[in-house]
Amino acid sequence: MRSDLRLVDLPGGARLAVAGFAVLFLAFSVVAQAQLWVHAGGGKLPTPQRVLERYHGRADSSHLHEALDPALPEDDPHAMYPFLGDDDATRRERRDVVLAWVESGAAESGFEPVRQILTDPLLCAQCHEDGGSAPFALATYEDVLPHARRGEGMPWPQLLTSAHNHLFAFAVAALALSLAMAFSRAPRALRHLAIGAAFVAPLLDVGGWLLTRWQGGPWHWLVMAGGALFGVATTFMAAWVVLDVLRGPGRTQPGPAADA
Ligand code: HEC
């Protein structure tokens, strides 16, 4: 292939197709930002904390957190907070003991103070004991553990489906934009930088999802860095390609382009 072939040398229909793709991609980028803002960020750009919770879940959303939420009305059948004691100060104190243990990872070594509350016959064990009126006992560490599990992040099946779909879309977008960019009149270093970034970024981004889901932080920073890099690299290439085609063939004879 001629090494000085440029986008502007393509037949009109091909130039139109390339520019059309790049324009649609720019529209996609704008909508992707809006989607990130509205859907993932809840009205603002997603914070690192939000990214972490999305993939890894929250430490403060176990069943015990839900059941011991003081905001639940006392007559709600799921409200267990009122059973923590007679006055609010005592209830809060005991709630703090239980939930601090859950949030610190619910290790067996720290279970004793929690066990004392849960197995007190005047408190939870009125009902949460074998043969009690509650559907399960809260007597042993093993009994309690399922209710102390942190809120799950994105379920693995959903995460893998999303990773699979996104990687394919990333690959197609990166290839199409990179090919167009490769034949644009951008300086060689800039072309290679943008093209390399467009292919590396999805690996960082999606790899970050899986690592964050599995291990939690600090991998969520990889998600943010990979996502941002892909956005910048592809948006830049799309914009460059559109401008390159629009600039027309007027200055298309800069001499032999020996740098390709
Ligand atoms: C008067 C009986 C009674 C007492 C006392 C009681 N519970 Fe319960 N608890 C229940 C019943 C019944 C359910 C099942 C509610 C349902 O799912 O409909 C339940 C459910 C739960 C759940 C699961 C909530 C969910 O996600 O559905 C947790 C966790 C829990 N209790 C913790 C506690 C703790 C901690 C205490 C002590 C502070 C306590 N309970 C005291 C009767 C009781």
Q: What is the pLDDT of residue 255?
A: 44
* Position with higher pLDDT, 46 vs 114: 114
Q: How many A from CA of 203 to the centre of ligand 1?
A: 44
Please state, in angstroms and rounded to a whole number, the distance separating the CA atoms of residues 165 and 159.
10
Q: How many C-beta atoms surround the C-beta of residue 182 within 10 A?
A: 17
Say if residue 259's pLDDT is above 50.
no
**Residue listed under structure tokens 């064990």:** 125
Contacts of 43 (CB under 8 A, 6+ apart): 37
145 lines ligand 1 (CB under 6 A): no
Please state, in angstroms and rounded to a whole number, the distance separating the CA atoms of residues 178 and 184.
10
128 lines ligand 1 (CB under 6 A): yes
CA 211 to the chain's CA centroid: 11
126 lines ligand 1 (CB under 6 A): yes
* Position with higher pLDDT, 197 vs 152: 197
Please state, in angstroms and rounded to a whole number, the distance separating the CA atoms of residues 115 and 101.
11
Q: How many C-beta atoms surround the C-beta of residue 180 within 10 A?
A: 24
Nearest-atom index, ligand 1, CA of 125: 5
Q: How many A from CA of 134 to the centre of ligand 1?
A: 6
Say if residue 251's pLDDT is above 70.
no
Of 10-24, 143-157, 192-206, the range with the lowest mean pLDDT is 143-157
User: Mean of the pLDDT values across residues 131-146?
Assistant: 95
Contacts of 97 (CB under 8 A, 6+ apart): 113, 114, 117
Residue closest to 159 by CA, chosen among 202, 210, 208: 210
Q: What is the pLDDT of residue 70?
A: 95
- 40: confidence class by pLDDT, cuts 50, 70, 90: confident
Q: How many C-beta atoms surround the C-beta of residue 13 within 10 A?
A: 8
Please state, in angstroms and rounded to a whole number, the distance separating the CA atoms of residues 59 and 42.
20
